[in-house]
Structures are given as C-alpha cells and as structure tokens.
Amino acid sequence: MLSVSDAEGIIFNLVQPLNSQQDTELVDLLFAGESLAALRADRILASEVTSQLDFPHWDNSAMDGYAVRYEDVQDCSDQKPAVLEIVEEIPAGVQPKSTIQSGQAARIFTGAVMPAGADTVVMQEKTRREENRVIIFTAPKLQEFVRKRGMYYRAGTQLVPAGIPLKASEIAVLTAVQCTQLKVFRRPRVAIFSTGDELVTPDKPLQPGQIVDSNQYALFTLIRHSGAEPIMLGIVKDKPEALKEAIAYAIAHADVVISSGGVSVGYYDYVEQILESLGGEIHVRAVATKPGKPLTVATFKNDPRPILYFGLPGNPVAALVTFWRFVQPAIKKLSGLAHGWEPVFIKAVTRQELCSGGKRETYVWGQLYVKNGVYEFQPAGGLQNSGNLINLAQTNGLAVLPVGTTLIPAGEEVQVLQVGS
Ligand code: AMP
Ligand code: MG
C-alpha cells in the first residue's frame, strides 16, 4: 500500500498535459449568441497573446480640464495666473483640429485625444473660465494628466501567457486589444462508468438489494467543473465480459477513464485483471487513505500521451475523496493549466475534535469557512463513514489527519484540503 505522497508523486507524474499545437480549438471572444460560451472562465489559453497595438493607442487626457503648453503655465500662481485663449473643445472620441500655439489652450475631457502642440493637462478644478479664456492659478507638472501613447504597454508585449484560465480580468485585456479569436485547449474527454450488479439509475424504483448509482452523477458534475467533458457510459454489470467491453470502449474514446466500484478485494472484483488483459500497466493498487484505500491507477499506451485509468472505490464518500485528492488535480494538469492545478490546503481551526485510527491518512469531510478573518473547519455531523453520503451535502473541505495522528482537539489547527465543485 502506497503512502499518499508516494501515490500523489506517481499519479501527477503520469500526467502529460494536452499539446499546445494539436489539442486546441479556436473560440470567439465576442458576446454574441453561441460564442458567449467562449467566455466561460475555465477555457485555458493554449498560446500566449501579445499586443498588436500600443496602449493607450494615442496620447490622451486623464482628466477633465485644459490641454496646454507647459511652458505657458510653468510659472503661474495665485498672484500671477496664466491667461490662455480657448481655441477648441475636444470631447472623447474626436480627433482634434488645431495645433495649440503659445498663449492658447483646448478644453479637453477624460479619454479625449491630446491636441498637437499641447503637452500637459490642467485639471478644471485648478482653473476659472471667463468666456473664451481660461485662467490658471496653479503650475502643473510637465505632462501631468497626459496618458502617453504606449505608456501601459507597447505593441509586441506579452499580455497573457499560455496555460492561463480565461477569467474576467484576462477577457478584459484580450477584448481591449481586439483579440477576437482565441486559441484554447480543447476540453479533456473523461469517460465514467459505475460497476455493480446492485446499482440502478435514480429514476428506477428500487428492488430489494438495489441502490442508486450516485457516483456517476457526482463524478459527472465534478468532471464538468474541472473543465473537462464527461462521457457517461452508465452502469456496467459485475461480469468480466461486460467490464472488458466497457473499458475497451472507454480507452478508445477518452483521455481519462474513471470507474467506480469493483476495486476492493472481493469475488466480483475483476477490474484489475481486465486492465492487464487489455494491455494496461498498473501503477497504483492501494493508497493509505481513509476513506479511499482501494484506488487503482493504470495507463494504456497511446500516442501522443497515455490514457489514464482511475478505478475508484465504490463507496460514495471514498469515490469523491479519491477524486478530489488525486483525480481532479490530474485532470486539471492534463487540461493545460500552467499553474494552480495542484491540491490546495488551508490551515484552519477545527470547531470540533477530529479523530483517526492513525494508521492511514484520514480525511474528515465538512465545511471550511471564514469567521472574523480566520479559517474555521466544522466537520459534517452524523457518522463519518465512507458509505454515508447523506452528510456530504455542503462539503467544501477535507480536514487531513496525517498517519500517526489520532486526535486533533477542538480549537487546534488542522490542514484542510479545499474541495467542492
Ligand atoms: P465496491 O467498491 O464495488 O466493493 O462497492 C463498495 C460499496 O459501494 C458497496 O456497498 C456498493 O454498493 C457501493 N457502491 C458501489 N458503486 C456505487 C455507485 N456507483 N454509487 C453508489 N454506491 C456504490
Ligand atoms: Mg461492487
């Protein structure tokens, strides 16, 4: 049985990210009809975007005021104000007509293009207007309130690197530079199926001995929220032929395959044998976690990158815990994210005592929240049992009790793995 850190090292090393040349698609930036989908935050940029233009595109005013020649106003004061003739009014979006000569000024507004000849803007609060003249009482600094062309960035500057998820801030930048088509990574395809003769879909009346296949729906949601495209293959019977057929189909159609159930040591547990008969190489058979010990990880040779197979435990909480701890970071890494795919642990104060057998790394599920600026953790009430998924609702954190720790008293600090969608 592997330790969590050994298993994590093996799994994350097996992942080769999507290829930034082949595994991409072009999406529209524009807010129009279906292309709105392109603006979903979790698309990941496959190639860097550099600016085609200087920004600002031209010298413009950062204030409402008067565009002047610095030399005309540099010595002015309350006692010796400068008096300038207003030769033009320049609203934003208009090309100025005049060239400002000595003794002249232009009325100008925020964002408007600076007229030729002027190099400085005096804010209107520092002036008094008298018909077509402006009286200036305070000397500005040279080039004050002028946003010079290219002062924020020049054509050719990198604006957004590859591997970055496109959130509102990136979209704002890309829109400003008119980058209307974006090359993003395609979404990884993740096939999922459940194994077990006792499983039924949630719409069927339950016969004695049957239970609902909740794992497949939970995994479907998690995969979508991880930025991937789930392919639901349904419930597969505990029969070697049926399992073999499902796995063969899945590895032919997906980048990642996730099954749940059938990996514990039991009579009907065929999955590992079948993986090997299909040419799979098994890297992980069990990990010292609670819940979640029976985790199988295998790869199938495939060009340009191997297909990853995750056989999760059937118990509903164990399936989710192993997904959050190992599978979700792997999918995020695969999807082309340059950073931020790793699991995130947050130090929090536990509101209640946390217990563990001490032999395996134990995850206690519950709620992580901020109170008075400090992270706190409240374990889910009721039984913490890998078969009891009812108290999973609203879980957004897994408190971690390392091997050898049997108790963390209330009020003490604990590392909490951030989980959820
Ligand atoms: P297994 O890993 O197949 O031995 O299953 C362990 C436990 O999890 C059993 O009680 C199964 O009935 C239950 N189980 C297996 N698969 C699912 C599933 N897809 N949804 C909900 N419970 C499941
Ligand atoms: Mg089973």
Provide the whole-model pTM: 0.89
Average pLDDT over residues 261-285: 81
Mutate-to-test residue for ligand 1 from 238, 239, 260, highest number of ligand atoms within 8 A of CB? 260
In single-letter form, the type of residue at position 151 comes to M
CATH, range 24-51+153-185: 3.90.105.10
CA distances for 206 relative to 3, 199, 218, 249, angstroms: 38, 9, 19, 29
How many angstroms separate the alpha carbon of residue 297 from the centre of ligand 2?
17
Distinct helix (H) and strand (E) counts, the chain: 8, 28
Residue 313 beta carbon below 6 angstroms from any ligand 1 atom: yes
Q: How confident is the model at residue 260 (pLDDT cuts 50, 70, 90)?
A: very high
CATH of 4-18+187-334 among 3.30.300.30, 3.40.980.10, 3.40.47.10, 3.40.1130.10 = 3.40.980.10
How would DSSP label each residue in 112-176? Answer: PBPPBT--EEEEGGGEEEETTEEEE-S---TTTTEE-TTSSB-TT-EEE-TT-B--HHHHHHHHH
- The 10s digit of each residue's pLDDT in 115-171 is 999 999 999 999 999 999 999 999 999 999 999 999 999 999 999 999 999 888 888
Q: Determine whether the shortest distance from the Cβ of 384 to ligand 1 is under 6 A.
A: no
| CATH architecture of the domain formed by 345-418 | Beta Barrel (2.40)
Reply yes or no on domain 60-147 having CATH 2.170.190.11.
yes
pLDDT (0 to 100) of residue 420: 75
Check pLDDT > 60 for residue 280. yes
What's the 274 CA to ligand 2 centre distance in angstroms? 15
Ligand 1 center–CA 293 separation, angstroms:
14
Using one digit for the tens of pLDDT, what is the confidence trace for 82-91? 999 999 999 9
- Report d(CA 121, CA 111) in Å as an integer: 12
Q: Report whether 394 contacts 365 (CB < 8 A).
A: no
Q: Which residues of the chain does CATH 2.170.190.11 include?
A: 60-147
Q: Would you say the CB of residue 391 lies under 6 angstroms from ligand 1?
A: no
Q: Check if 262 has its Cβ closer than 6 Å to any atom of ligand 1.
A: yes
Domain with CATH 3.40.980.10 in the chain: 4-18+187-334
Residues 6+ apart with CB under 8 A from 413: 347, 348, 349, 350
pLDDT tens figures, 354-410: 999 999 999 999 999 999 999 999 999 988 888 788 899 999 999 999 999 999 999
* Distant-in-sequence, close-in-space partners of 368: CB < 8 Å, separation ≥ 6: 346, 348, 375, 376, 377, 396, 397, 416, 418
All residues at 6 or more sequence positions from 412 whose CB lies less than 8 Å from its CB, including other chains? 349, 350
Residue in 193, 198, 219, 315 to alter for ligand 1 test, most ligand atoms within 8 A of Cβ: 315
**Mean local confidence (pLDDT), 31-49:** 62
Pair 36, 133: CB distance under 8 Å: no
For 171-214, how does the pLDDT look when each residue is reduced to its tens digit (9 = 90+)?
888 888 888 888 999 999 999 999 999 999 999 999 999 999 99
For the chain, residues classed under CATH 2.40.340.10 are 345-418
Comparison of pLDDT for 387 and 52, the residue scoring more: 52
**Residue 86 structure tokens:** 């207003």
For residue 345, the number of C-alpha atoms closer than 13 Å in the C-beta half-sphere is 10
**CA distances (Å), 187 to each of 215, 230, 272, 336, in order?**
22, 10, 28, 9
Is the pLDDT confidence value at 43 over 80? yes
Confidence band, pLDDT 50/70/90 cuts, at residue 264: low
